[in-house]
């Protein structure tokens, strides 16, 4: 949960690969290509409980089902920014009664090539005395800072960081908002983006993307298609996606706040949506669909939708639901197979597959 074991990294990764090969043995597919993480300092975000004991504070984590705190002096899974900031931040918080009192959690959100944001979370109302101490803390450490309490959110100066990721020798900028989903392992995220980009080069037609989030994949993939229509249901993510399109000067993407079920209804001309009033769906010539769904995978209606496409680019955070979904796409074969080690030293592995419809 806490330590890293660089000497065990490769054997553990090979175990994951063998598991995936067994899980997908019923399908014909190329050998999965492995995309490795750094063996240490790989997480761009981390959340810690704060343990109060005998007048002092400690970072703490808990094993599932166990209320005994594991007090931390370091966290080598976190990136260097977090690792270096943790002791300095805690010492300054300890020295300030307004900052220390009733503090129960500290969240870190950092980047490979951008800023750092820290959130202090309390069981008390944040008053003017706290704000003065928080401003001094922010300025002394050179970070952005948020204070949270019940029905309160106090921000100095931004509630987001700007990440910079390189794909195909080009830098892309991403707004990543506090308390919303972002990829925790930015090094592996860059490899995922590059894999999707390289495997969609010279594409014909337009791209439909479901579950686009803040435009993580949308932005580099837009380079390879005439037009992109991307959907997402989270208001925060849609807002960030629009910010990111503008920041990267992307002009050929429309993002709409629709669920996969709703976009299916719209494409089938079963229902009209005001959120699509400015978009002429019949002007799109979709040949490729990109999906990066939640752990539950694609529902049956969405599977019916994606089955129409000549090519499906599917990034999955749950190999089991990916396998179940592929069994329901019998006309498609696995053309490319990749494994992305987002979470070293766990059983978790993310998969990427390119599915192409067989000619009949």
Q: Would the pTM of this model clear 0.85, i.e. be above it?
A: yes
Which residue, 10, 42, 19, 69, is CA-closest to 347? 19
pLDDT at 269: 86
pLDDT at 1: 55
Q: Is the peptide bond preceding residue 331 cis, with omega within 30 degrees of 0?
A: no
**Cβ contact 63:24 at 8 Å:** no
The pLDDT of residue 360 is above 70? no
Instruction: Tell the residue number behind the tokens 């976009």, with chain if given.
Output: 263
Report CA-CA distances (Å) from 186 to 36, 85, 283: 12, 18, 35
Mind listing the pLDDT tens digit for each residue in 87-120?
Answer: 999 999 999 999 999 999 999 999 999 899 999 9
- As given in the structure block, the two tokens for residue 166 are 């390189």
Topology alike, domains 6-39+182-357 and 45-161: no
Mind listing the pLDDT tens digit for each residue in 287-298?
Answer: 999 999 999 999
Reported residue count of the chain is 360
The CA-CA-CA angle for residues 310, 316, 320, to 5°, reads 105
Instruction: Tell the residue number behind the tokens 């919303």, with chain if given.
Output: 180
Strands 103-109 and 117-122: antiparallel
What does the alpha-carbon distance between residue 75 and residue 308 come to, in Å, rounded to a whole number? 46
The pLDDT of residue 359 is above 90? no
The pLDDT of residue 337 is above 60? yes
CATH 2.40.50.1070 fits 45-161, yes or no: yes
Write down the domain spans for the chain: 6-39+182-357, 45-161
Mind listing the pLDDT tens digit for each residue in 16-37?
Answer: 999 999 999 999 999 999 999 9
- DSSP H helix total and E strand total for the chain: 10, 17
Cβ contacts of residue 160 below 8 Å, gap of 6+?
117, 175, 176, 177, 178, 240
pLDDT at 318: 97
237: left (phi over 0), alpha (psi -120 to 50) or beta: alpha
Residue numbers annotated as active site: 317, 350
For all residues of the chain together, what is the average pLDDT? 95
Q: Distance between terminal CA atoms of the chain? A: 50
CATH 3.40.50.150 fits 6-39+182-357, yes or no: yes
């Amino acid at each position: 949960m806490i330590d890293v074991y660089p000497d065990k990294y490769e054997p553990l990764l090979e175990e994951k690969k063998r598991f995936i090969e067994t899980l997908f043995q019923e399908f014909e597919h190329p050998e999965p290509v492995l995309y490795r993480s750094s063996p240490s300092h790989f997480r761009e975000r981390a959340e810690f409980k704060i343990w109060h004991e005998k007048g002092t504070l400690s970072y703490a984590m808990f094993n599932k089902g166990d209320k005994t705190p594991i007090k931390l002096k370091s966290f080598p899974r976190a990136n260097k920014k977090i690792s270096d900031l943790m002791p300095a931040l805690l010492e300054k918080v300890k020295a300030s009664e307004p900052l220390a009192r009733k503090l129960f959690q500290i969240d870190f959100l950092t980047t490979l090539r951008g800023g750092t944001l820290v959130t202090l979370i309390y069981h008390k109302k944040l008053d003017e005395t706290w704000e003065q101490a928080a401003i001094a803390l922010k300025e002394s450490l050179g970070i952005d800072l948020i204070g949270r309490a019940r029905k309160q959110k106090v921000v100095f100066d931004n509630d987001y960081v700007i990440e910079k990721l390189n794909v195909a020798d080009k830098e892309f900028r991403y707004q990543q908002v506090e308390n919303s989903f972002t990829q925790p392992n930015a090094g592996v995220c860059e490899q995922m983006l590059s894999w999707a980009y390289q495997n969609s080069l010279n594409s014909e037609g337009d791209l439909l993307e479901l579950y686009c989030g803040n435009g993580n994949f949308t932005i580099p993939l837009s380079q390879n298609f005439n037009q992109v229509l991307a959907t997402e249901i989270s208001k925060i993510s849609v807002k960030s996606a629009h910010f990111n399109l503008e920041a990267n000067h992307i002009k050929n993407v429309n993002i709409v706040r629709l669920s996969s079920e709703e976009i299916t209804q719209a494409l089938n001309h079963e229902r009209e949506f005001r959120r699509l009033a400015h978009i002429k769906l019949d002007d799109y010539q979709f040949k490729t669909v990109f999906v990066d769904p939640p752990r539950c995978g694609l529902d049956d209606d969405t599977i019916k939708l994606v089955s129409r496409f000549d090519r499906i680019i599917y990034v999955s955070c749950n190999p089991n639901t990916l396998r179940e979904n592929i069994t329901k796409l019998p006309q498609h074969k696995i053309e490319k197979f990749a494994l992305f080690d987002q979470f070293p030293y766990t059983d978790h592995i993310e998969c990427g597959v390119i599915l192409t419809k067989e000619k009949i």
